[in-house]
Amino acid sequence: MANYELVRDEACLMESGRMRCRRYGSHEVLPTTIASLRADIKKFLATHTHDASKVYLVSKGSTYTRLWSHADWHAHLSVWRYARHIFLWPTSTIAWRIFPVCCIVVCWALAVKELAKSVRFRLELPFTCGLLFGQAITLLLTLRTNQSMARLQEARAVFNKVVVTGRELGSLVSCYLKHEGISVIIARYVCMVGWTLKHLVRGEADESNLKIMLRDLIPIGDVEFVETSVSMPLALVRRARMALSEAVDRGAVDRSSQRTIEIKLGLLGDLVGACEKILHSPSPPAYTRHTSRVLLVFLFIVPMGLADLNLPTHFLVLASAFITYLLVGIEEIGVELEEPFRWLPLQQLCSQLLEDVLDEFSDAPPLPLPAADVPTSGNIPKTAVQNQLEETMTFSS
């Protein structure tokens, strides 16, 4: 945890690189040097490497929950992927989740087979009718899965914009704020927006781990303020906006740069709202219920259609199990992807945000500024085109 000096004050002000927060009787002086920011971010990244949120529906070998590298793309395009997929089939979470449904359909198929032997009336259905019914089921499942994939892509794009906006904010405050302490303070708040947003969209129950993260980058007084806020990410954006306002009052930033930074802070708040919209607005449950009901009816009549083919018992079992695995598996994937934030590499994206901000505050070589005798905009010789334009305007007048 970063070391902070405790002070007592009821006012909210910034003085000599210090920021005191209105709310609590005991406040902290932030370490407002770039060196302290670098040290705290590096320590944070080295400490918080494990994702505290539990993602249960991730199969062994799954790579969508982390950022891809060139090695991942090479393995993905390799023809040996078929062997790998078959070898890892027993560890598939989709297969194990739909295994009870497959067992029930197989038992029903065996019951239909035995019932046909013991009674005069046979439960049969023309196989052609089953095929027509199956086409409608396929269309429903396709639309359902496409909708879930669209939600997944939207969530990925929104969270990526959070990272990009945070990086741009780090670059802006490091270049345009002429007060090192205020720029470092804003960077600290921006760094924690991603982690608090991850905590929000994942619904992580472990509050202690997030509190440790907050204490590692922002003062204890702000930790309590952020935790008691309705939205922790928006509370951090508000603190960054307050620091920017203080920079304007001190004349540490010009109005044009202040407006640009303010726009980025507003965009960061909009992205938090977009993530909340995805989290709290699922696909219409009526569509999910209708798809599930029609799918169950189809699986109920599948054994009757197969009985019309007079298949041996072992073929009947295999066919029923495969059809169930195929259709129910697609439906299960669509349902799971409907909650997209469980599948995104949020841990790595949040770490990337910190690394980007750290890079924006790294030491840069001096700019190769022009010599003093280079003509400025006021004494650059006029070109022939400019002279001709002036002559034309004079003649017209």
**DSSP line for 217-270:** HS-HHHHHHHHTSS-HHHHHHHHHHHHHHHHHHHT-S-HHHHHHHHHHHHHHHH
3-state helix, strand, coil in the chain (%, to 5): 70, 5, 30
CB 23 within 8 Å of CB 11:
no
Kindly give, in sequence order, each residue whose CB lies less than 8 Å from that of residue 353, ignoring residues fewer than 6 positions away: 162, 163, 166, 167, 190, 191, 193, 194
What's the CA gap between 343 and 55, in Å, rounded? 8
Which amino acid is it at 338?
Answer: E
* Structure confidence at residue 394 (pLDDT): 55
Tokens of 188: 């600290």
End-to-end CA distance of the chain: 72
- Segment of 275-279, 300-304, 377-381 carrying the highest mean pLDDT: 275-279
Residue 188's Cβ-count burial label (10 Å; 0-12, 13-18, 19+) is buried
Domain tally for the chain?
1
Which domain does 12 fall in, by range?
5-50+98-360
pLDDT of residue 97 exceeding 70: yes
Neighbour count for residue 38 (Cβ, 10 Å): 16
> Is 324 part of a structural domain of the chain?
yes
Over residues 19-33, mean pLDDT: 48
pLDDT of residue 16 exceeding 90: no
* Structure confidence at residue 130 (pLDDT): 64
Report residue 8: phi and psi, to 5°.
-125, 125
CB 361 within 8 Å of CB 34:
yes
What's the CA gap between 385 and 213, in Å, rounded? 61
pLDDT tens-digit profile of 235-254? 999 999 999 999 999 999 99
Over residues 97-115, mean pLDDT: 89
Which amino acid is it at 89?
Answer: W
pLDDT of residue 117 exceeding 60: yes
> Is 211 part of a structural domain of the chain?
yes
Closest CA to 319 of 299, 339, 338, 336: 299
> Is 38 part of a structural domain of the chain?
yes
Mean pLDDT of the chain: 81
CB 41 within 8 Å of CB 187:
no
> Is 375 part of a structural domain of the chain?
no
> Is 86 part of a structural domain of the chain?
no
> Is 337 part of a structural domain of the chain?
yes
> Is 330 part of a structural domain of the chain?
yes
pTM: 0.78
Residue 52's Cβ-count burial label (10 Å; 0-12, 13-18, 19+) is middle
pLDDT of residue 25 exceeding 60: no
* Residue where the block lists tokens 């095929």: 131
Tokens of 242: 């307050």
* Residue where the block lists tokens 């929000």: 200
DSSP annotation string for 10-48: SS--EETTEE--TT-SEEEE---SHHHHHHHHHHHHHH-
> Is 9 part of a structural domain of the chain?
yes
